[in-house]
Structure 1
Amino acid sequence: MSLVPSLTEAVAVSAPGALVGVTDWCTHPADLGGAVRVGGTKNPDVAAVAALRPDLVIANEEENREPDLAALRAAGLDVLVTEIRTLDQALAELARVLGACGVRDRPRWLDEAEAAWAAVEPCEPPRTAVVPIWRRPWMVLGRDTFAGDLLARLGVRNLYGDHPERYPRVPLEELNAASPDLVVLPDEPYRFTPDDGPEAFPGATAALVDGRHLTWYGPSLVSAPRSLAAALRAAHR
C-alpha cells in the first residue's frame, strides 16, 4: 500500500493491481482498481491500513509523519520510507520502491524520465525566483528540496535555496524586497491561479506551473521538463 501520491502513481502504472490501499490524495492514475482509501498523507487511518494486511507500506520522510509510521511498524507492518530531495534521489528511490513491489524489469517510463531530464537545457540567461507554496501565511521553497532541484536544472535559482529551513514562512514584503526575476506559482499544495497570487508581486513576472510536474516524482517526470520549461518561457513574454 502507498501513503504517497507520487509513489502510488509509480507503482500503479508499473505493477497494476499491486496496491491494496492508497491515500485520499492519490489521484493518478484515475483508475486504482479496488484500492481502499485510508485517509490523508498526514492523517492516515492506521487501523484501516493494518486491517488491509499489506506486505509493504510505502512512505516518504517528508510526506508522512513519523508517529504514524511508528504505529504501523508497531502493528507488525513492513514500512519502506523514501527520502527524495533531488532528481537523482528520486530516480534511485523509484527504482528501489518498484523493486520492493516485485517489479523485476525497469519500467520504460523511468528510462524516459531520466533521458528527458538529461536533455534539459537551462534557460539563458539564468533567472532568480521565489517559489511560494502557500499563502496566509506565505511559505516558500527553502533549502534542499526536490522542486528546487528541478528548477535549478531548468536554469532558475531559488533565492531562498540557502535558507536554514526547507519551507520557511517569509513575509510578503520580504519576498518582494528580494527582487526576483520570477515568482514561480504552482497549483499545489496551494492552488495559485492567475487571480490569486500574481497580484501580490507587482514588480515580478509570475510563472504559473503545474504543481504535479514540479513536486511529484513518478511517471509525471517524463513530461515535467517540457511542461515546466514551457511555463517559464511563457512567463518571459
Structure 2
Amino acid sequence: MATSLRTIGSTAVRTLLDDQQNPVLLPATPTRVVSIVPSLTESVAATDARLLVGATDWCTHPADLEVTRVRGPKNPDLERIAGLAPDVVLANAEENRAVDLDALRAAGIAVWVTAPATVGEALDSLDRMLSAITGSSPSWLGAARETWRTPYAGPRRRAVIPIWRRPWMALGRDTFAGDLLARLGIDNVLADSAERYPRIELDALPPYDLVVLPDEPYAFSADDGPEAFAAPALCVSGRHLTWYGPSLVEARAVLSGQLA
C-alpha cells in the first residue's frame, strides 16, 4: 500500500513499504528494474519481461533472458547497476548483503527487499512487489496460490535437508524451504535449531527417516551426497524447493514426484 504520493519535478512518485518495512520511493509506473535474486528475476520476467534491464549471472530462468548481467547476488557490480539507471533494484534479505543494499541506497537507487520465511509469506510478498511494479497481480501467482491451497493429508516423514558439504550444513529453523517441505509431509528434524542454516555433524543428528538433497546451492547428485547417509536419500530440484516465483506453480507436483 502506498504511504504517500507526490510529484518530483514532472514525475509522480509513491512511497511504499517492502517486506522489511523499509520505505521505497517508486515512480508511478516503473520501467527499469534490476533484480539481484534469481527467483525474483524469473517472477518479473514471467509478469512483464520488458521491465528487466539487469540481472545476476545466476539468474538462469527464463533461459532466453537478454539483459545486462551484474555478477552475483553476493558480489553485485554496483557501478554497473547504477549505470543502468534502474527505477528499483529487487533484493532479498537472505541472499544479498546488507552492505551492498545500503551502498545502492546511498547512491540514490530504490531497493525493494523481500524476506519471506513460509510459502504463504512468499506468495503475499510477491503479490505486493509485483503489484507495486506492474500495477496488478499476475495470473501465475493466482495459480500458485491455488496449487498450495489444499493442505497435505498423507503420512509424514522426518528428514534432514543438507544444503552444503565441506562443511556439512542443513536447513534449520524458519526457512521457506522447510515450510514448503512441511506442506508435502516432510518434517525437518532440525526445525528447532538455534540457526537457520546450522553446520551439522552427521553422526550427531536426531533420528530421521529420509535425507532430502537439493541440487542447489550445493550440487548434490546421485553420486555426491547419498553415500554419506545410512537412511534413504532423495535428490530433488533446488529451484522448486528454494525459489519463490513461477516455479511454485509446478513445485508441488515436481517435488511430490521426486519425494515419492
Match of 1:116 in 2: 147
Instruction: Please list the CA deviations of residues 64-98 of structure 1 after superposition, one character each: whole Å capped at 9, or x if unmatched.
Output: 00000000001110001111110111011101111
Name the amino acid aligned to 1:98.
L
Match of 1:85 in 2: 117
Q: 1:142 aligns with which of 172, 187, 210?
A: 172
Contact persistence 1:120–1:225 (CA under 8 A): no
Give 1 or 2: higher strand fraction. 2
Contact persistence 2:130–2:136 (CA under 8 A): no
1:32 and 1:97 map into 2 onto residues whose CA distance is 20
Q: 2:138 aligns with which of 103, 107, 131?
A: 107
User: What is the CA distance between 1:157 and its match in structure 2?
Assistant: 0.7
Runs in 1 of length 4+ with deviation above 6 angstroms? none
Q: What pairs with 1:165-204 in structure 2 (closer than 5 Å)?
A: 165-175=195-205, 178-202=206-230, 204=231
Instruction: Please list the CA deviations of residues 27-54 of structure 1 after superposition, one character each: whole Å capped at 9, or x if unmatched.
Output: 0011223x10001000001111111110
Match of 1:221 in 2: 248
Give 1 or 2: higher helix fraction. 1
Contact persistence 1:123–1:156 (CA under 8 A): no
Instruction: Please list the CA deviations of residues 172-211 of structure 1 after superposition, one character each: whole Å capped at 9, or x if unmatched.
Output: 2223xx2310000000000111111110002x11121100
SS at match of 1:208: strand
Match of 1:60 in 2: 92
2:78 and 2:126 map into 1 onto residues whose CA distance is 24
1:123 and 1:32 map into 2 onto residues whose CA distance is 39
Name the amino acid aligned to 1:89.
E
1:195 and 1:38 map into 2 onto residues whose CA distance is 33
Name the amino acid aligned to 2:199.
R
SS at match of 2:58: coil
Contact persistence 1:139–1:169 (CA under 8 A): yes
Residue 23 (1) aligns with residue 56 (2):
yes
Name the amino acid aligned to 2:200.
V
Instruction: Please list the CA deviations of residues 114-150 of structure 1 after superposition, one character each: whole Å capped at 9, or x if unmatched.
Output: 11111352431x1000000000000000000000000
Contact persistence 1:131–1:183 (CA under 8 A): yes
2:197 and 2:89 map into 1 onto residues whose CA distance is 26
Aligned length: 227
SS at match of 2:148: helix
Match of 1:14 in 2: 47
Structure 1 or 2, whichever has the larger Rg, is: 2
Instruction: Please list the CA deviations of residues 1-59 of structure 1 after superposition, one character each: whole Å capped at 9, or x if unmatched.
Output: 101100000001101210111001000011223x1000100000111111111000110
Structure 1: gaps (5+ residues): none
SS at match of 1:118: coil
1:56 and 1:197 map into 2 onto residues whose CA distance is 39
Identity of aligned residues (%): 59
Q: 1:130 aligns with which of 148, 160, 173?
A: 160
Q: 1:211 aligns with which of 238, 244, 247?
A: 238
